[in-house]
C-alpha cells in the first residue's frame, strides 16, 4: 500500500468517526497526527492506528494467501466494465491454498463471480449443492462464497463469519496499541488543542474486536489521549473506549 492509499484509508476512518459523532467540520490531513478537525472550540487531532490480535501461524498464512487471490481476482473483475462492484467473501479448501495454484484460484474465483453476479446488496451465500437453495454447484476449490453488490470494490478481502482467534485476546492488544501511541502524544499536541486516538480494526480480525467491544466496560485504559475510539471497519460501527 502506498502512503497516498494509506492516507485515504485513514481519512475514510476519520470521516466515519465524525459521522458517528454527528460532527460537521473541516478536516485537514496532517502528519502527525493523521488528521486535524477544525471545530469552533479548537483543533482536535485524530491519530489513526490499525489494531489486530495475533492468529495462529497456519491461520495467518491462509488469510495471507486468500488475500493475494482476492487482489488478483478483484483487479481482473474491476477492469471489466460489465461487472458492477461486488463484495466478495470466500473460503478455499486448505489443500488448494498453494502459491503455485494462486493464478488458477484467482481465475476460478473470477469465473464463478461472472456466472453468478450478485443481484442486490443482500449477500447471496453459496456453500454446496445440498445447502444452497439455488442448487449452484461450487467449484471444488471453495468451501463457501458470498456475493453482494456494493458502491465500490473493497480494497481487502472481508472476513468469513467464523473468527480465526479468540476475542479475549483483543483486550491486551488494544491496551498495547494505546501505549505505543502514548509516547508520541506531546508531539501531536503541538498541532492541536486536544488529541483523540482512533483504533481501526484490520478487516481479517474485525469480528473478534467487535465481540470484544461489546464487553468494553470490563476493560479500563490509562491514557493521556482525551478520547479513544474503536472503529469496526467491516460493520461501519464506532465505539468509544474512553
* Residue 152 backbone phi and psi in degrees, to 5: -135, 150
Query: What percent helix, strand, coil does the chain show, rounded to 5?
Result: 40, 25, 40
| Position with higher pLDDT, 107 vs 163 | 107
Residue 159 exposed, middle or buried by CB count within 10 Å (0-12, 13-18, 19+): buried
List, in order, residues 6 or more apart from 143 with CB less than 8 Å away.
91, 92, 93, 127
Q: How many Cβ atoms from other residues are within 10 Å of residue 56's Cβ?
A: 10
What is the pTM for the complete model shown?
0.53
Task: Return the SS3 of 91.
Answer: strand
Residue 199 exposed, middle or buried by CB count within 10 Å (0-12, 13-18, 19+): buried
pLDDT for 77 equals 96
Bridge partner residues of 9 (DSSP): none
Q: Which residue matches cell numbers 488528521?
A: 35
Q: Which residue matches cell numbers 477544525?
A: 38
Task: Return the SS3 of 155.
Answer: coil
Mean pLDDT of the chain: 79
End-to-end CA distance of the chain: 30
pLDDT of 210 > 90? The answer is no
pLDDT for 168 equals 37
pLDDT for 193 equals 94
Q: What is the pLDDT of residues 49-61, one digit of tens each?
A: 887 654 555 666 7
Q: What is the pLDDT of residues 146-193, one digit of tens each?
A: 899 998 898 887 765 433 223 334 456 667 777 878 888 999 999 999
Amino acid at each position: 500500500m502506498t502512503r497516498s492509499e494509506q492516507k485515504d484509508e485513514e481519512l475514510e476512518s476519520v470521516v466515519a468517526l465524525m459521522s458517528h459523532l454527528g460532527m460537521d467540520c473541516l478536516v485537514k490531513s496532517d502528519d502527525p497526527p493523521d488528521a486535524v478537525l477544525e471545530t469552533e472550540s479548537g483543533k482536535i487531532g485524530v491519530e489513526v492506528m490499525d489494531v489486530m490480535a495475533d492468529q495462529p501461524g497456519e491461520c495467518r498464512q491462509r488469510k495471507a494467501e486468500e488475500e493475494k487471490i482476492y487482489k488478483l481476482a478483484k483487479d481482473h473483475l474491476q477492469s471489466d466494465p460489465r461487472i458492477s462492484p461486488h463484495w466478495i467473501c470466500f473460503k478455499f479448501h486448505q489443500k488448494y491454498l498453494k502459491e503455485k495454484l494462486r493464478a488458477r484460484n484467482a481465475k476460478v474465483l473470477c469465473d464463478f463471480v461472472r456466472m453468478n453476479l450478485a443481484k442486490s446488496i443482500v449477500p447471496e451465500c453459496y456453500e454446496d449443492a445440498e445447502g444452497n437453495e439455488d442448487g449452484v454447484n461450487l467449484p471444488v476449490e471453495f468451501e463457501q462464497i458470498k456475493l453482494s453488490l456494493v458502491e465500490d470494490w473493497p480494497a481487502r478481502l472481508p472476513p468469513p463469519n467464523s473468527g480465526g482467534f479468540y476475542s479475549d485476546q483483543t483486550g491486551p492488544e488494544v491496551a498495547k496499541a494505546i501505549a505505543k501511541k502514548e509516547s508520541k502524544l506531546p508531539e501531536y499536541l503541538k498541532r492541536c488543542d486536544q488529541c483523540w486516538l482512533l483504533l481501526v480494526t484490520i478487516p481479517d480480525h474485525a469480528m473478534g474486536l467487535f465481540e470484544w467491544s461489546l464487553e468494553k466496560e470490563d476493560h479500563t485504559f490509562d491514557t493521556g489521549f482525551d478520547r479513544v475510539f474503536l472503529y469496526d471497519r467491516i460493520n461501519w460501527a464506532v465505539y468509544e473506549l474512553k
